[in-house]
Homo-oligomer: A and B are copies of this chain.
Amino acid sequence: MLDLGEIRKNIDGIDRQLVSLFEERMRLTSQVAEYKIETGKKVLDPERERQKLEAIKSLVEKEDNKHPIADLFSQIMANSRKGQYMLLEKMGQTLREPYEAVDEIKKEGAKVVYQGVAGAYAYAAMLDYFGEDVDNFNVPTWKDAMEAVKEGKADYAVLPIENSTTGSITAVYDLLQEYNNYIVAEVYVKVEHVLMGLKGTDLSKVTTVYSHAQGLTQCESFLESHKDWQQISQPNTAVAAKKIFEDKDNSHVAIASKEAAKLYGLEILKTDIADEANNTTRFVIVSKTRTFVKNAKKTSIVFECVNEPGSLYNLLSHIIYNGLNMTKIESRPIEGRQWEFRFFVDIEGNINDQRVMNALRGIEEESRSIRLLGNY
């Protein structure tokens, strides 16, 4: 029988030697970093790293150990690069663009755009963030809202980005990539779908249900018991309610918010029809200017990996190494490239936080591209 205590004591002895060698190695690599900064050389030198790994493998005696030890040295070199990025940031050699830090986002006198009509969930999100008296207008599509911000017709746009039941709203992610606008805040709105129709609607005579495609998906179980109803998707849930009000056809019903039913004088035929009782949509407030609140807690970025095995993992390592929590990762196809992806990542932290700076610096150096989407 093996003596576990004895083995662990031997491991502890080895670890003491490893720690002291690591410290000496770090002292030396920080000298390399200084040299690179003085001479303006790039931190990442893939050819030198490849050669180093080959040299390491030739030193390993046991064949089975070659791969795990080469892997450890990849990690030692990656950590060494991270240390060098940190040094560059400390010395002020930052690649980041400046931004304006404010105590709070200016709401007074702001003009706000949202997609849809009054009574839509985006409308509720807007009132929640900007207050009841906000100067606002609406547009037919999310793209129109982004365009209004870009052209200065609105100071802010309110866009849904994620629902707790149905997941990411990928079209909005694509618009964040397409436009150079920034996320400056987020709002969570509880979604409570109800079924509505004209006063006196007989459920057994209904032929058609209108809602937003997401609304139909979120009430899938309820709609399974009404398979004979034709499902027609509308630009948003409030438009669906408005349609019932305008068409005056009592064989048509809509799935939308209680507020929409009230707004269009419709009768609520059934409540609690969503598959999940706790259904929340996260909305983002988007602006053209790089103005972020000083106490921002979340950083959103989008990046593209170089097309190599393990490159996504390598980029994520900058986030983890800096002790940051990643709250979201979303992949979207890159237009014009078949089966290549860009990644949208949310990190807990302020861009002024040293750890976030270091992570962004590392990703910036080792990705094909990175863009800051917001800090809020």
Chain A residues close to B by CB (< 8 Å): 1-2, 4, 7-8, 10-12, 14-26, 28-29, 31-32, 34-35, 38, 52, 55-56, 59-62, 65, 67-69, 71-73, 75-76, 79, 82-83, 140, 163-167, 170-171, 213, 217, 227, 232-233, 275-276, 278, 280, 309-310, 312-313, 316-317, 319-321, 323-333, 335-336, 338-339
Contact = CB atoms under 8 A, between A and B. Distances in A.
Nearest to A276: B335
A69 B321 CA distance: 11
Contacts of A12: 55
A171 B313 CA distance: 26
25 contacts: A1-B38, A2-B34, A7-B28, A7-B32, A8-B32, A10-B28, A14-B24, A17-B17, A17-B21, A18-B76, A22-B65, A26-B65, A26-B68, A67-B323, A71-B79, A72-B75, A163-B333, A164-B333, A164-B338, A167-B333, A276-B335, A310-B320, A310-B325, A312-B329, A316-B316
Contacts of A10: 28
A227 B52 CA distance: 59
A317 to B, nearest CB: 7
Contacts of A330: 331
A15 B56 contact: yes
A162 to B, nearest CB: 8
Chain A interface secondary structure, helix, strand, loop or mixed? helix
Contacts of A11: 25, 28-29, 32
A315 B164 CA distance: 23
Contact of A16 (B14, B59, B213, B325): B59
B329 A320 contact: no
B73 A79 contact: no
Contacts of A73: 15, 18
A68 B30 CA distance: 13
A342 B292 CA distance: 31
Given A24-B14, A69-B23, A313 B338 contact: no
Given A164-B338, A278-B338, 16 more contacts: A2-B31, A11-B25, A19-B59, A68-B82, A71-B79, A72-B79, A140-B227, A165-B333, A166-B333, A167-B170, A167-B332, A276-B336, A309-B324, A313-B316, A316-B316, A329-B329
A344 B29 CA distance: 39
- Nearest 3 A/B pairs, CB to CB: A309-B325, A19-B59, A313-B320
A133 to B, nearest CB: 31
Contact of A329 (B24, B72, B82, B331): B331
Contact of A22 (B8, B72, B327): B72
